[in-house]
Chain A
Amino acid sequence: MLFGGHVFCPFCGKEIIDENQAFCQHCGARLVAEAGPAIAAAGRGKTPWEDHENTGFFNGFLKTVKTVLITPSDFFRNMRVDGGLTDPLLFAMIIGMIGLMFLSVWDILLHNPLRNFMTPEIKAAADSGMSTGFASPVGAAMMPFLLILWIFLATGMLHLFLMIVRGAKAGFEATFRVVSYSVSPFLFMAIPYCGMLISMIWVLTLVVIGLREAHETSGGRASIAVLFPLLFCCGMFALAAVVIMGAVAASFGSLMQMYK
């Protein structure tokens, strides 16, 4: 409250030193509302998937997948950063399960033929990869739950690193929605051999674009937030990519030897 150039705390009535200070120095009461997410909801709307009442379930689903894959910047720029976790999570579950089912099928049918071309060291490293055990019934039954866990853990870690690099201008929900919609390339797991590699690289690219647009931050900050945990926590994805690329190169080399 302002009286004759002096500012007083509305709770204890004592004078406040600075009218912009967040808390009263006498009683500790909060004087200004805490700054909420800095990203305005204006100009952002429901995704076609969330607007399924108008677009229809399948139409909305396909339209969302198409937009995320082809024009991700536009999609995430226009995606609202609030509105609940349920719809994006359901979308991620559907896409994720379709992709992982394909992965299981290729695992069963092809018996992971790349292993034949791996050196023992690379084979040991590949055995630690994500695809191990997908074909087992227990693994398949656990997949939906693991997918939910993965989405929440990935979101938590990404948001934490985004906060560290001062890129989290919207809330946790924005990060969650970006991660959920960014699993769209899991559909590429339908491609045998290289489907997983393609989808993983595409997912990472989409997450970077999504964080940049949803949090209205720079691409550099978004990239650091995405790549820092990957490099820091095991370098697992980078090494998996190296292992798979090495195995593919080795398989081509072996084929060339066979036809010589």
Chain B
Amino acid sequence: MSKELIRLSDLTMTFEDGETILNGINLYINDQEFLTLLGPSGCGKTTTLRIIGGFLTPTSGDVFFDGKRINDVPPYQRRINTVFQRYALFPHLDVYDNIAFGLRLSKLPEKEVDDRVTEMLETISLRGFENRHVTSLSGGQQQRVAIARALVNRPEVLLLDEPLGALDMRLRKDMQVELKRIQQAMGITFVYVTHDQEEALTMSDTVVVMDKGRIQQIGTPQDIYNEPKNAFVADFIGESNILDGIMRDDLLVEFFGRKFECVDKGFGKNEPVDVVIRPEDVDIVPPDQGHLCGTVTSITFKGVHFDIIVDFKGFKWLIQTTDYQPVGAKIGIRLNPEDIHVMRKSGYSGQFGDYSSYSAEYDEIAEGGEDEE
């Protein structure tokens, strides 16, 4: 891709109360890249963003911008702008003055300020709202003003801290497309923070999955989804059934006492591994034709598909299917080699991927509880 723009080198961040928020973050961000920091609340993603923005100084480690160390450069001297969580628009200024704020500070002639603000209002389709008070705007409109206020300065990097967090589902989807379009049209590097995995997969060139102050995996959205590095990533990105297995040989893994062909290699002989099976990859067949046989214990209608929980010898799987399966039915499943993904054991092994305590509400509770870090 293009050249490297930002480099974070061995960043750690420990707050005054002794809590370590970041622990050895190494990351580089390319010019014009759309990079997303993804993770649950408290994982350190916002802290990382605030260090890049200059609002926090790391306890140790360095931040480089275009090859220069910028640890001690204050925010107002960085060629970086931020779209803040819940916008942080200036309540004493109208829409126009909010957007013009940065341009006027850089002492541009008023004519150019006017041209650029007007052009920006066009981009965010808020022409005619110039003199409206920001508090009288809807959430979506405020959000667009916040983006315009940052972008109008033509920064090299735009930092976005959960910018769509306060919007409803539909508006969110529209804005995701809109943001991606703006990013590509203006050729600006975006560093985007979210806890929403779908948002991350939809928009990013690169996804950085974080947990407990460490980077768990860096990769393209496809990599992250198809080749998760550990049980945390597999569970956080989409749904996963994670089983204990043993790698018998290259391309051969054993679980539930049965050997399966797979596409993974390079593990030690008889190495214990985690096996990931995505719920949508499982094919349901009559019991006598299956690799494995189980009993349906619950079924939930999700619109596009059904979530069914199937009990295989006491271990419960989540399977997504478009066919209705009554509770109590015996079904067989088939797994193709590419449906099976093998991961090395990690500190997260055994914590995720078991649907024994699954309930339909579980997802919503987990997502609803998310808030500012």
**Bind each other:** no
Chain B interfacial positions (CB closer than 8 Å to A): none
